[in-house]
Structure 1
Amino acid sequence: MDCITLVADDGADLDVLVWEPPGEPRGVVQIVVGMCEYAARYDEFARRLAADGWLVVAGENRGEGPRALATGELGQLPDRGFHQLLDDMSTVIDHFRTGPHPLPWVLVGHSMGSFLARMMAARRGREIAALVLVGTGGSLGPVESVGIGIAEVEVALGGEDRPSRLMNRLTFGTFNAGFRPARTRFDWLSRDHAMVDRYLADPLCNYICSAGFYRELLILMRSANSVDVLRATPPQLPVGLFSGAADPVGSAGRGVHQVARRLRASGVRRVDVVLYPQGRHEILNDINRGQVHDEICRWIDETVGVTV
């Protein structure tokens, strides 16, 4: 695993982790990480992909990762919000897909990253060979608008960058409800106690995001589930949805199936759904992660079908 720094379209530095395959790459797998985490948490999964011949890249989202901690911007977003994150994703992938014959591009998004990946599929889906959505969720309906309104009030009272414990409770407060007796407040993440404890002890994970961040998160979720984005997703783009059957972000599978139904109804021809029984939100870090890694890699191989 190597780390490089790219320059974003607004001049900011973007840190990108890179996992090289043993030989010539079959293509590029771009991983888009979730909120309150960072790219190095995907090392095991990325090494599995690289062993299969893929060049794997994962950029740090603005407001996350070591650079954000060092600059005091942890849990904050730039002025352009999630639109800047999408532009950063383009900066990263364009760096690795240069020349007259760019490598096939597989886009993998987890959690918040899955919503960003869905937005990118609407923007540049004709360039993407396959889309993998891990731990995604469906529309929350009016709840999203109410949450956006509350976040906007918080922004007006305390500013964009002030941590919002209220929005944190409203967004994640019920996620542990299905896991009793709860060992920690993050039991909903994984059945692997060591992974949960590591998350709790990590200052790059266990923090409260700003009111502006939560507002942008809810706007992103609403946008990713909108009719316009669904219709802009190319019919020929294969989509694989992989989630835990007990994941509260996916409403215990209901939200995942909702996304799949709406994609199919909008014309996307191949939409596959895999739900793991008792699996929680971070299936890439759950007790059966080896199986999950293998099955996602197999789906990508079968779907893209690229050999060196």
Structure 2
Amino acid sequence: MDETTTTIPSGSDDGTRLFLYRWSPDGEARAVVQLAHGMGEHAARYRRFAQALTEAGYVVYADDHRGHGRTAGSPEEHGRLGDGGWQALVDDLGAVGAHARSEHPGIPLALFGHSMGSFAAQQYALDHSADLDALVLSGSTACDVIVAQLDPDAETDLSAFNEPFEHRTGYEWLSRDEAEVDAYVADAACGFGLDAAATRQMVEGLPQTGDPGRLAGVRDDLPILVVSGSDDPLAGGGQLVELVGQRYRDAGVRDVTVTVYPGARHEILNETNRDEVTADILAFLGRVL
């Protein structure tokens, strides 16, 4: 796997430049997989997944979202989405996808979103499903249900998700693998939520992802895979991710697969059964791309 980095203009006109990773396979790429990471983390955490994708022949693009990682530039900017706010983060998905297509014209593009990245991907797909050849939602949920539980005037508090679990570090909700949890806690670019302004923008923008009228705009031949752990606090025991899949089916999307892994928590790519999860995602991509 060959890793290169660059910066590209964001999807808004606010001057933000997105720090972008590209992981390339040996030989010609069969398709593009675009990764959208979650809240309070960064794209470099997906190198292991990218390795599996490149070994399967995919070229992988992943940006650090605005307010995250090397796009943020400093810890003081963590969680701040800037003047463009949540909508700009959603629009940035289009900027990354357009850049990937410019470098690899004529091959399919799949969008993989995890957690907050999957929320943004759900919103992006409402208007831009024609730009995608497949959609994978990991650690996702029925966004309108979850954001209704957030205080729109306060910073998003990730620690609240740990209430059902042991409190060794406060981040046990992420994975049953203690080494993965410890690596997250030790990473200075992880563990924060969106600031109050960005939280309000997200809370106001995401309810449309559950609107049947908006979902009707998603093209009916877009293959969609929804993967989650049954013990992920966002999954509602699996019911909320099943709801996501059913909403797409009700909107007329013909190829929707929902897989819930028993006992797995939020970061299924870093879970004890991560090899199974990765293999299932690769099988889906191989079938639809």
Instruction: Please indicate, yes or no, whether the TM-score normalized by the shorter chain is above 0.5.
Output: yes
In 2, Cα distance between the equivalents of 1:278 and 1:46?
Answer: 24
Deviation at 1:225, TM superposition (A): 2.3
In 2, Cα distance between the equivalents of 1:208 and 1:35?
Answer: 6
Give the 5 Å matches for 1:187-198: 187-198=172-183
Aligned counterpart, 1:158? none
Q: What letter corresponds to residue 25 of structure 1 in structure 2?
A: A
Tell me whether 1:183 sits opposite 2:184 in the alignment. Answer: no
Deviations 1:275-303 (A, max 9, x none): 11100000001111111111101111012
Q: What letter corresponds to residue 88 of structure 2 in structure 1?
A: Q
Tell me whether 1:19 sits opposite 2:44 in the alignment. Answer: no
Distance 1:127-1:258 versus aligned 2 partners, 3 A rule: same
Deviation at 1:89, TM superposition (A): 1.4
Deviation at 1:182, TM superposition (A): 3.2
Q: What letter corresponds to residue 108 of structure 1 in structure 2?
A: F
Tell me which of 177, 184, 209 is aligned to 1:199.
Answer: 184
In 2, Cα distance between the equivalents of 1:71 and 1:140?
Answer: 29
Give the 5 Å matches for 1:143-292: 144-145=147-148, 147=150, 150-152=151-153, 164=155, 167-168=156-157, 172-173=159-160, 175-179=161-165, 181-292=166-277
Deviation at 1:100, TM superposition (A): 10
The CA RMSD over aligned residues, in Å, is 2.0
Deviation at 1:53, TM superposition (A): 0.7
- State which structure, 1 or 2, has the greater radius of gyration over its C-alpha atoms: 1
Q: What letter corresponds to residue 183 of structure 1 in structure 2?
A: R
In 2, Cα distance between the equivalents of 1:139 and 1:226?
Answer: 11
- The answer (yes or no) to whether the contact 2:91–2:124 under 8 Å persists in 1 is no
**What 5-or-longer segments of structure 2 have no aligned partner?**
none
TM-score by length of 2: 0.92
SS in 1 for 2:102: coil
Distance 1:140-1:178 versus aligned 2 partners, 3 A rule: farther
TM-score by length of 1: 0.86
Tell me whether 1:75 sits opposite 2:68 in the alignment. Answer: no
Give the 5 Å matches for 1:286-305: 286-304=271-289
Number of matched pairs: 285
Tell me which of 80, 92, 96 is aligned to 1:88.
Answer: 92
SS in 2 for 1:252: helix
In 2, Cα distance between the equivalents of 1:236 and 1:123?
Answer: 15
In 1, Cα distance between the equivalents of 2:24 and 2:82?
Answer: 30
Deviations 1:169-197 (A, max 9, x none): xx651x22332x43221111001101111
Deviation at 1:144, TM superposition (A): 3.6
Deviation at 1:139, TM superposition (A): 4.5
Aligned counterpart, 2:117? 113
Deviations 1:63-109 (A, max 9, x none): 00034142731111122222111222111111121389532110100
- The answer (yes or no) to whether the contact 2:141–2:234 under 8 Å persists in 1 is yes
In 2, Cα distance between the equivalents of 1:57 and 1:46?
Answer: 9
In 1, Cα distance between the equivalents of 2:164 and 2:75?
Answer: 37
SS in 2 for 1:250: helix
Deviation at 1:232, TM superposition (A): 1.4
In 1, Cα distance between the equivalents of 2:24 and 2:83?
Answer: 33
Deviation at 1:219, TM superposition (A): 2.8
Distance 1:50-1:204 versus aligned 2 partners, 3 A rule: same
Distance 1:6-1:254 versus aligned 2 partners, 3 A rule: same
Report the identity percentage.
36
Moved more, 62-71 or 82-91: 62-71
In 2, Cα distance between the equivalents of 1:293 and 1:65?
Answer: 24
Distance 1:280-1:90 versus aligned 2 partners, 3 A rule: same
- The answer (yes or no) to whether the contact 1:69–1:204 under 8 Å persists in 2 is no
Deviation at 1:145, TM superposition (A): 4.6
In 2, Cα distance between the equivalents of 1:23 and 1:271?
Answer: 31
Give the 5 Å matches for 1:52-71: 52-70=56-74
Q: What letter corresponds to residue 237 of structure 1 in structure 2?
A: L
SS in 1 for 2:227: strand
Q: What letter corresponds to residue 65 of structure 1 in structure 2?
A: G
Q: What letter corresponds to residue 174 of structure 2 in structure 1?
A: L
